[in-house]
Amino acid sequence: MNEDRKPYTTGEIAAFCHVTINAVKKWIASGKLLAFRTPGGHFRVNRADFMSFLDRYKLEIKEEVFPARHKVLIIDDEHDVVEFVKGALESMGGVFLIETAGDGYEGLIKVGDFKPELMVLDIRMPKLDGFEVCRRIKQDKSTKDIKILAVTAYGTDDIERIIQCGADYCLPKPIRLKDFQKNVHRLLK
């Protein structure tokens, strides 16, 4: 779907979301879905506003509407790192559907529901560390193809060990933006 596409009509939004046009108009009236009016009085919704609406309300139609988006799960207990990674992905052109988890246990639960193509995985975390998460992902037939980009602040011993557990690559913290983006592109090709 073209990024520069003209704004969506309420009918198009209704079709994407499998609801009535009146339901879409109620979302607009309540402020849930941002829209503007044409000179003729019709509502239109910009692509970015529609994507934001889908993210905010966790509607599961993105693959249908935006088939080129890659699913990325960020598992890290450091809020600043999660925000950095989200920002780095978003600055790559809006081609990602992003989910986050604060520890390995929560991450494994989200893998089952979210089915990511790529995981950005911290190694040292509470509850379940990245080594165990990586082993479990790579040993399971249904998840073994998920690409894992590990990150660590603990040096070469952790890097070698996480690669042995099945990670596709490991970056040291602090993460350098260009290295991160280059490896995301490489792993998702």
pLDDT of residue 111: 94
CA 149 vs. chain centroid, Å, equals 14
Question: Which one-letter DSSP state was computed for residue 117?
Answer: S
pLDDT tens digits, residue range 128-163?
A: 999 999 999 999 999 999 999 999 998 888 899 999
Alpha carbons 136 and 48: distance in angstroms, whole number: 36
pLDDT tens digits, residue range 68-120?
A: 678 999 999 999 999 999 999 988 876 788 999 999 999 999 998 889 999 99
Task: List the domains of the chain with CATH numbers.
Answer: 8-62 (1.10.1660.10), 70-188 (3.40.50.2300)
pLDDT at position 122 over 60: yes
- Give the model's confidence band at 64: pLDDT under 50 very low, under 70 low, under 90 confident, else very high: low
Q: What are phi and psi of 96, to 5 degrees?
A: -125, 140
Alpha carbons 178 and 46: distance in angstroms, whole number: 30
pTM of the model: 0.67
Q: Which residue has the tokens 């988006």?
A: 69
pLDDT at position 127 over 90: no
pLDDT of residue 90: 84
Alpha carbons 79 and 28: distance in angstroms, whole number: 32
Q: For helices 79-90 and 177-188, what crossing angle results, to 10°?
A: 60
pLDDT tens digits, residue range 85-99?
A: 999 998 887 678 899
